[in-house]
Amino acid sequence: MSAPTISDVAKSAGVGKTSVSRFLNGETAALSPPLRARIENAIASLNYRPNQMARGLKRGRTRLVGVLLADLQNPFSVALIQGIEAACRECGLMPMICNAGNEVELENRFLDLLRTYRAEGLLVNPVGLPESALRNVVEGDIPVVLMDRKVEGIACDSVGLDNVSASKMLVTHLAASGFQSVAFVSEAWSSISSRRERESAVLAEARLNGMSVSSLVVDREDEQSIARIIDQMRESATRVRTALVAANGQTMLALALELARRRDVGLPGSDAPVAYRGADAPLGRLGLASFDDPDWAAMMTPGITTLRQPTFDIGARALYLLNDRLDTHAQAVREKASGRGNAASSPADTPRNMSFEAELIVRSSTHAAFALAG
């Protein structure tokens, strides 16, 4: 009827619960072969699965890790999950995936739920707003690893892209391709650390290369705002060779499609004719590059130059870091419980920040395929 318990198995095998438990936990050394066999049979015939809830209750370890993502619609999040799930399998952990849909309220709700289910640790790609309850969680005693974004005043492990190095790579390429001006394009939410890091790094590096710079904000939902940006940049492009740098894949898509749609401006790699102000405008083309390398970047015509993030590795590494903490954390708790608690704070309590190198993928959208007329 209801799910069989360890007692059912014990009864059916004619042994004590303890032995069954030992079998389940691989303490095979302390079990005689005949017993082992009987238990194995009983388990199989009853189709028994140990109750992880009860296990967790007793052991104090649920093997659950909360994975809280700002926005599952972003392919970046999905890519992270691949790495996390693979790493979880290795470590015998179970990810509990939650999508905050860019709402702090939901983020907080899930944070609560995850605590309630006694997740042993959290992997968070935070929405990045100050109202977040994340702060309290980190200050509590459950380990947290931040992914992609850091949060002001929260000190914990984090994994992300080396935005400075990536920006250098990209801007160097743009300069070498003859671009003289760089415009960084992102969505409104500039409280997000990675977006800010990318912006300042790109602009700084561009200035170092003697390029003129600007920073623009779009609203992906609002076609008008995108058209306006393009208008503005098309204007600039009549004077200097200009490249747009999108802060992420979704912004890039919006820009690329608008560029493809229009007739008065285009991308370098495109062979569609550009008609703008008649003869005096060989500069009706805007370069385009982007952080993130979504599927469609390669498929588009022309292909879009991107900085590919090792998303799988970022996710996996985040989990490894967490798993680390889990072990030392459990140990610390055990020690304190047994009375010989050390007043000095945990040994390696300092946050570890890992960053990964991006890979620059050059495609035609930044080709130096056009010459300056003037």
Contact characters 19-48, a copy of itself, x per CB under 8 A:
----------------------------x-
22 binds, among DNA, a copy of itself, none (CB under 5 to 8 A by kind): DNA
Q: How far is the CB of 62 from a copy of itself (least distance, A)?
A: 6
Report the alpha-carbon angle 161-167-172, nearest 5.
145
Residue 154 vs 304, nearer CB to a copy of itself: 304
Beta strands in the chain (DSSP E): 64-69, 94-99, 121-125, 144-147, 157-161, 181-187, 212-218, 242-246, 287-291, 305-308, 353-356, 359-361
Q: How far is the CB of 332 from DNA (least distance, A)?
A: 16
Counting Cβ atoms within 10 Å, is residue 153 exposed (0-12), middle (13-18) or buried (19+)?
A: exposed
Determine the interface stretch with a copy of itself among 135-143, 154-162, 165-173, 278-286 (rule: CB under 8 A).
135-143
Residue 18 vs 41, nearer CB to DNA: 18
Pair of tokens at residue 24: 């389940």
35 binds, among a copy of itself, DNA, none (CB under 5 to 8 A by kind): DNA
In this structure, how many other beta carbons lie within 10 angstroms of the beta carbon of residue 343? 4
Report the alpha-carbon angle 326-142-159, nearest 5.
70
Question: Residues with Cβ < 8 Å from 46, sequence gap 6 or more?
Answer: 4, 8, 9, 12
Q: CA distances (Å), 11 to each of 4, 19, 25, 37, 299, in order?
A: 11, 11, 19, 14, 61
Residue 280 vs 327, nearer CB to a copy of itself: 327
Q: What H or E segment, with its residue span, contains residue 151?
A: none
Torsion of CA 272, 275, 280, 283, to 10 degrees: -50
Q: How many residues interact with a copy of itself (rule CB under 8 A)?
A: 53
5 binds, among DNA, a copy of itself, none (CB under 5 to 8 A by kind): DNA
- Cβ–Cβ under 8 Å, residues 101 and 72: yes
Residue 96 sits in the site that holds a copy of itself (CB under 8 A): yes
16 binds, among DNA, a copy of itself, none (CB under 5 to 8 A by kind): DNA
Determine the interface stretch with a copy of itself among 28-36, 105-113, 145-153, 346-354 (rule: CB under 8 A).
105-113
- Contacts with a copy of itself in 43-82 (CB under 8 A)? 47, 49-54, 56-57, 60, 62, 72-73, 75, 78, 81-82
d(CA 236, CA 276): 13
User: Contact positions toward DNA, by CB under 7 A?
Assistant: 2-3, 5-7, 14-19, 21-22, 24-25, 29-32, 34-35, 50-51, 54-55, 57-60
Closest CA to 142 of 150, 130, 133, 153: 133
Q: How far is the CB of 314 from a copy of itself (least distance, A)?
A: 16
| From 9, 174, 300, 319, residue interacting with a copy of itself (rule: CB under 8 A) | 300
Q: How far is the CB of 237 from a copy of itself (least distance, A)?
A: 20
Pair of tokens at residue 61: 């370890």
- Cβ–Cβ under 8 Å, residues 141 and 119: no
Residue 7 sits in the site that holds a copy of itself (CB under 8 A): no
- Cβ–Cβ under 8 Å, residues 268 and 285: yes
Residue 113 sits in the site that holds a copy of itself (CB under 8 A): yes
Residue 348 sits in the site that holds a copy of itself (CB under 8 A): no
d(CA 324, CA 321): 5
Binding positions for a copy of itself, rule: CB under 8 A: 1-3, 47, 49-54, 56-57, 60, 62, 72-73, 75, 78, 81-82, 85, 89, 94, 96-99, 101, 109, 112-113, 115-118, 136, 140-141, 253-254, 257, 260-261, 272, 295-296, 299-301, 333, 336-337, 341
